[in-house]
Amino acid sequence: MNRIRKGDQVLVITGKNKGQRGDVLRVADDRVFVSNVNLIKRHTKPNPQANQAGGIVEREASIHLSNVQLFNPATNKGERVGTKTLEDGRKVRVFRSTGEVVDA
């Protein structure tokens, strides 16, 4: 079970973007793409077949999973995540500090 999933709000805990917060756009193995965090400029050629203009495009680069934490709105901090199995057999993610269930 992944600790961080698409759509989660995360907090960057290390690196040049430390302290920034955003939503996870996608997860690729051990890396995540977070909206408006770790922006890079990419020089692209125009592609008329894909109806894509050329120029300098700014987009998100990936961040390693170890450099982000799931954001807990109750405490307003990034927190560690664990898993717990409920009575009905479902596995859910929980915040380690409070034991509060992340998934509804």
Residue 91 lies in a domain: no
Residue 64 lies in a domain: yes
Distance CA 93, CA 3 (A): 7
Give the model's confidence band at 103: pLDDT under 50 very low, under 70 low, under 90 confident, else very high: confident
Give the model's confidence band at 2: pLDDT under 50 very low, under 70 low, under 90 confident, else very high: confident
Q: What is the pTM of this model?
A: 0.85
Distance CA 93, CA 84 (A): 6
Domain tally for the chain?
A: 1
pLDDT for the residue 66: 95
Look up the CATH number of the domain holding residue 10. 2.30.30.30
Q: What is the dihedral of CA 46, 47, 50, 54, to 10 degrees?
A: -10
Q: Is the pLDDT of residue 104 over 70?
A: no
Q: What is the mean pLDDT of residues 34-43?
A: 96
Residue 62 lies in a domain: yes
Name, in order, each residue with C-beta under 8 angstroms of 87's C-beta and a sequence gap of 6 or more: none
Both structure tokens of 82: 């664990």
Taking the CA atoms of the chain, what radius of gyration do you get in angstroms?
17
